[in-house]
Amino acid sequence: MVPAAGTLITVAPTGAEIAKADCPQLPTTLAELVETAVACEAAGASLIHIHVRDADHRPSLDAVLLRETVQAVREQTSMVIQLSTGGSVHDSLERRITVLDAEPDSCSLTCGTTNFGDDVFLNPHPFMAQLYQLAQEREIVPEFELFDLGHVAALRRLIDAYGLPFGGKVHVDFVTGVPGGMPGTPAALLAGVQALPAEVTSWSATGIGRSHLPIAASALASGGHLRVGMEDNLNYAKGQPVQRNDELVSRAADLARLMQRPPLTTDEARDLLSTKERRST
């Protein structure tokens, strides 16, 4: 892997787990999401990982909402747009795969089933294989989400069976600290990094909750990129709830600059991931 000179900062602003009623500052409407995207791009994010919510602020995989969201964020920012295919733990595999119809630049692709708190986040191999091949066909770049060390082996199996993603790059994201997945510790993260297949061209990491900052620091120190956002962490510091996603992005950008690996521009992010140009000129 070529050492990264800059830092890809991904923002995951909403997620599917937190209720609006419990966290009114969570961006759940299209207007809030677009406003968040614009602020996060200005703060240094170049990739946005999106889950959409319906009019009642509940997680949704509605095709119209997804299309409208991709279109609006594409019009208002130049960030790489990644739609979640993970959805919520209650979404069916059949519905989750339809997310690609909204023509995002990128999609998440989780490399295995994981205990997710008291729930199960289901990703059987045939689903992963189907999603991977559909992403190749639609020229959408997958981001392989690795919640556990075994997911690295599942990624190896996918590449062996189906070759490289569209664009030829392989970008993975370690999601650490989920109750049931790999712990949010530097040791666990580095074990995952050391096991990555040679085909991987870049990796990022996020730590859920309290592991957010230690994982960000470990990733930066080890040549990785960063994912931050309210999907993963609702506290800026002890006793200080996050008010806006761009607070987390600004802090990540400061850390990256401090480590002499400044945030990538959106064009640099597109190069890193080899996404297809879908913006109209």
85 binds, among Zn ion, ligand KMH, none (CB under 5 to 8 A by kind): ligand KMH
89, 129, 149, 217: residue in contact with ligand KMH (rule CB under 6 A): 89
Question: What's the min distance (Å) between Cβ of 42 and ligand KMH?
Answer: 24
Q: Whose Cβ is closer to Zn ion: residue 10's or residue 261's?
A: 10
Contact 242, 248 (CB under 8 A): yes
Q: Does 174 bind ligand KMH (CB under 6 A)?
A: no
104 binds, among Zn ion, ligand KMH, none (CB under 5 to 8 A by kind): none
47, 79, 106, 116: residue in contact with ligand KMH (rule CB under 6 A): 116
Question: What's the min distance (Å) between Cβ of 219 and ligand KMH?
Answer: 18
Number of residues that bind Zn ion (CB under 5 A): 1
36, 46, 84, 206: residue in contact with Zn ion (rule CB under 5 A): 84
Question: What's the min distance (Å) between Cβ of 189 and Zn ion?
Answer: 18
Question: What's the min distance (Å) between Cβ of 142 and ligand KMH?
Answer: 10
Q: Does 88 bind Zn ion (CB under 5 A)?
A: no
**Among all residues, whose Cβ is closest to ligand KMH?**
86
Number of residues that bind ligand KMH (CB under 6 A): 13
What residue ranges bind ligand KMH (CB under 6 A)?
Answer: 15-17, 84-86, 88-89, 108, 110, 116, 121, 145
